[in-house]
Amino acid sequence: MRPACFLIASLLALAGICQGQTCGPPTPGDNANVRPEDAKPTYDDKETITLVCDVGYTNQGGSPTITCQAGAWSPVNLRCGRKDCGNPGQVPNGEIHIKTDTLFGDRVTVTCNIGYYMIGQDELLCGDKGWLGRLPVCEVVKCLQAPAVENAYPPSPADDVYTYGQVVKYTCLKDYTLNGSSSLTCSEDKKFKPDPPTCIKVVCPSLDVPNGRWIAGARPPYGYKDFVEFQCNNGFVMQGSPSVRCELNSKWSPEPPVCSNGAEPSKWQPLWLIVLLIIVVVVVTIIVIKYFKDRSRCRSGYSGNVATKEEEGVITLS
C-alpha cells in the first residue's frame, strides 16, 4: 500500500505544478486585442497567440505574437495607431477644410466658393475603410431671365438663363435717356444687381433770357445734356452763369441767367450797409448819453441863466 500511496501523491503534485504554469487572458495593450480565434479563458505553457489592432487602427511596428512562459506572457511589442484616410480629394469650385487631421475618427468639411451652391453633404468622416460618404458637388448659381426695361431694347445677351457673374447690358430707344446702371450682374442670391434702370424722355423747357441773346449750344427741342450759352445785350449786366445744361429731371442747371439794366451790385454793398448802421447807432447813443447827462446836471442846482466860472472869466477879460 505504501508504494501505491506514493504514486498517487506524486501524480497529484505533478498535476499542481502543471496547473501553475498555465496563463490567463493577456493584456494586449492600447487599441489592440486577442485575435478572435485565439481567445479562451486559459492558455498552456509555451502556447503562442496573435494580437490584432482594433477597428480603425493598424500595426505600426512590433511583433503581433506573445507566448505563455511558465505562467506569464512574454512582453507585448505590438503598436497600434489610427489609420490614415489620406487626402480626401478635391472639390471643383469649392474648398476642403481639415479640422484636425486625416486619421481615423477625424472629420473634414467642404464649402463652395461664392457664386456656387452645394449638392450633397458638407462633411466627411474618416472610417476604418477610408472616408465615409462622397464629396459634394459645387454647382454654379443661375439667374432666370433678365428683367425687361420699358422703352429699351432687349437686354444683351438675351438668354433664358444666366450664370453667376454674367453681365447683361441695356440700351434705351431713340429719344430716351438711361437713368441708372446700364449693366446688371447675376449675383450669388440668384438675382440681378443693381436694380434695373429706367428709360426716360428728357425735355427741358424753352429758354428766354430778356435783354440777352443765344451765342452757342443747342436749339430747341432740348434733350439730356444739351447746353446753351447766353450773352447780355449792350448796356445790360449778366447775373448768374452764362451757360446752362439740361439735366435728367428735365430742368436747367444752374438757373438761366438774368440780364439787368445798370451796374452789377457790388459784393461789398451788404458790408457797407452794416458799417453805416453801426455808425448811426453809435452817434445816436452818444446823443442820448449827453442828453441825460445834461439833465442830470440841471437837477443838481445849476441854472441855465447863471454863468459858470469859465464864463465869468471870459466876461471879465472882455
What string of DSSP letters covers 201-228? ---BPP---TTEEEEEE--SSB-TT-EE
* CATH number of this structure's domain 94-140: 2.10.70.10
209-213-217 Cα angle (round to 5) = 100
Q: Where are the domains of the chain?
A: 15-82, 94-140, 141-201, 212-261
By percentage, how much of the chain surpasses pLDDT 90?
75
Please tell me the predicted confidence (pLDDT) of residue 271. 75
Per 3-state DSSP, the chain is made up of helix, strand and coil in percentages (nearest 5) of 20, 30, 50
pTM: 0.61
Query: Does 141-201 match 212-261 in CATH topology?
Result: yes
The cell 430716351 sits on which residue?
176
Mean pLDDT computed over 122-141:
96
**Is 112 buried (19+), middle (13-18) or exposed (0-12) by CB count in 10 A?**
buried
Q: What does the pLDDT look like over 10-61, one tens digit per residue?
A: 444 444 444 558 999 999 989 999 999 999 999 999 999 999 999 999 999 9
Grid coordinates representing 48 are 503562442
Mean pLDDT computed over 262-279:
69
- Count the neighbouring beta carbons within 10 Å of the beta carbon of residue 29: 17
Best CATH choice for the domain 212-261 from the list 2.10.70.10, 3.90.920.10, 2.160.10.10, 3.90.1150.10: 2.10.70.10
Q: Please indicate whether residue 289 or residue 77 has the higher confidence score (pLDDT).
A: 77
Q: Which superfamily, per CATH, for 141-201?
A: Complement Module, domain 1 (2.10.70.10)
Nearest to 236 by CA among 214, 269, 258: 258
pLDDT band at 275 (very low <50, low <70, confident <90, very high): confident
* CATH number of this structure's domain 15-82: 2.10.70.10
Measured CA to CA, the distance from residue 147 to residue 162 in angstroms comes to: 12
Please tell me the predicted confidence (pLDDT) of residue 296. 72
Q: What does the pLDDT look like over 86-128, one tens digit per residue?
A: 999 999 999 999 989 999 999 999 999 999 999 999 999 999 9
User: By the 8 A CB rule, do 144 and 191 touch?
Assistant: no
Count of residues for the chain?
A: 318
Grid coordinates representing 52 are 490584432
User: By the 8 A CB rule, do 79 and 59 touch?
Assistant: yes
Q: Which of 91-100, 106-115, 229-238, 268-277 has the lowest mean pLDDT?
A: 268-277
Q: What does the pLDDT look like over 148-192, one tens digit per residue?
A: 999 999 999 999 999 999 999 999 999 999 999 999 999 999 999
